[in-house]
Amino acid sequence: MTGPHGRPLGEEPGFGTRSVHGAAASRAGSGEIAQTPASVPIYQTSTWRFETGDEFAEVLAGNRPGYAYGRGYGNPTVEAFESLMAALERTEAAFAFSSGMSAVHAVCIASARAGDRIVASRELYGGTYSLFREVLPRYGIEVTFVDPHDIESLRHALVGAALFYCETIANPLCTVADLPLLGAACREAGVPAAVDNTFASPYLCNPVDHGFEFVVHSVTKVIAGHSDLVAGVVCSSTAGRGRIRAVALDTGGAMPPFEAWLCLRGAETLELRMERMCDNADVLARMLEARPEVEAVHYPGLPSHPHHERASKLLGRGRYGSMLSIELTGGVEAAARWCDSLRLAWIAASLGGTHTLVCHPATTTHRQMPAEVRRASGISDGLVRISAGIENAADLVADFEGAFARATE
């Protein structure tokens, strides 16, 4: 990376510096002065003009650099975001999508075809689970669900598989995958590994360091961070990006330029927001663990969490993410009353934004899972998922404590 005047920096810059300077804008200007805009320009166009038909054909074929059409054939604003994500995830390349689910789908289709089998963690976001259980099998792709913490069962399942898929911090129970062990098992089996790193973000974890070929993000969440867009990205090797891009060209789902610009803007403050959100999550988790109305708190930052030691080694920075979940005494009725009694935190979809959000996974994010599968995965009917925002911690604590009082009135 170069400094603001184009001079090379010595040691690798810190994460916050890379977030701000990792997406270099094109230099522009007139006369002798070429200036760089503070904000990457939005190239709000779906198509590009060519002087000759031969130029058009050469660019489409990839035989010369250039831009042709918005559906994955390149856009300077989108490419700036892709380069930033590759820098933050320490991968060679990245390809941006219009949603996180588009990114997950592309990884699967780029890795498997009819007759192949994918091995997936059973601890997954409901939309991903539905894709694996309902959609892919329609086209002849079998999916085997495994306990990601049972390494021997995983090794057995990986034999003959086309892809392994898991989540760094699982949605919604916040279990933590042993990425070094899982990555080693996949390398031994010759199976490419993919991981959803949304909950952790590249600020806390870079799965490529542990042998994962594909790192997926719902950019809607922590990276963009302001609840004003829907987007996804796959970070990978250059060869992996080529396979992902080939799928996107034929199936659609590439990120539009305006969303890419919003992502770039949001990513600049990723470190600052994650620090505040993680601090708030830690404060809330410790307060909730002491409440008599709460049966269990699922947060890897607590010493009582079964994966606390693993998370301490994997995530680094002394932070454990902005997500937690709780089980209230009284089950689903108590959970509903408590959520409805909150005044500052919102009942809403999504996570990782500036607002603190709560939801009831059994009826929202994981509604696609059959009840017996959901409960077997540890997602009780009374579980509440919490995404800590950037509000003042004291105000959040007051709101959460007040909700307990109001819920019993």
Question: Which single residue is written with the structure tokens 């991903």?
Answer: 128
Residue 407, judged by CB atoms within 10 A of its CB (0-12, 13-18, 19+), counts as buried
* Domain extents in the chain: 15-43+75-267, 270-407
**pTM strictly above 0.85:** yes
Output the tens digit of pLDDT for each of the chain's 409 residues.
544 444 455 578 899 999 998 886 544 444 566 677 888 999 999 999 999 999 999 999 989 999 999 999 999 999 999 999 999 999 999 999 999 999 999 999 999 999 999 999 999 999 999 999 999 999 999 999 999 999 999 999 999 999 999 999 999 999 999 999 999 999 999 999 999 999 999 999 999 999 999 999 999 999 999 999 999 999 999 999 999 999 999 999 999 999 999 999 999 999 999 999 999 999 999 999 999 999 999 999 999 999 999 999 999 889 999 999 999 999 889 999 999 999 999 999 999 999 999 999 877 777 777 777 777 777 788 899 999 999 999 999 999 999 999 998 7
Residue of 387, 77, 72 lying closest to 262 (CA atoms) = 77
**What distances in angstroms separate CA 103 from CA 56, 159, 273, 283, one per listed residue?**
28, 25, 24, 33
Instruction: Kindly give the pairing relationship between strand 346-347 and strand 357-359.
Output: parallel
Q: CA 397 to CA 374: how far, in whole Å?
A: 29
pLDDT for res 27: 46
**Which of these, 118, 122, 182, 178, lies nearest to 146 by C-alpha position?**
122
Active site residues: 71, 125, 196, 221
Inter-CA distances, 190 with 121, 163, 185, 394, 405, Å? 18, 9, 9, 50, 55
Gap between the Cα atoms of 279 and 293, Å rounded: 23
Please provide the CATH number assigned to the domain covering 15-43+75-267: 3.40.640.10
Burial of 133 (0-12, 13-18, 19+ CB in 10 A): middle
CA distance 203 to 321: 10
Cis peptide before 172 (omega within 30 of 0): yes
Q: Tell me, what amino acid is at 280?
A: N
> Distance between CA atoms of 30 and 292, rounded to whole angstroms?
68
Q: What is the assigned CATH class of domain 270-407?
A: alpha beta
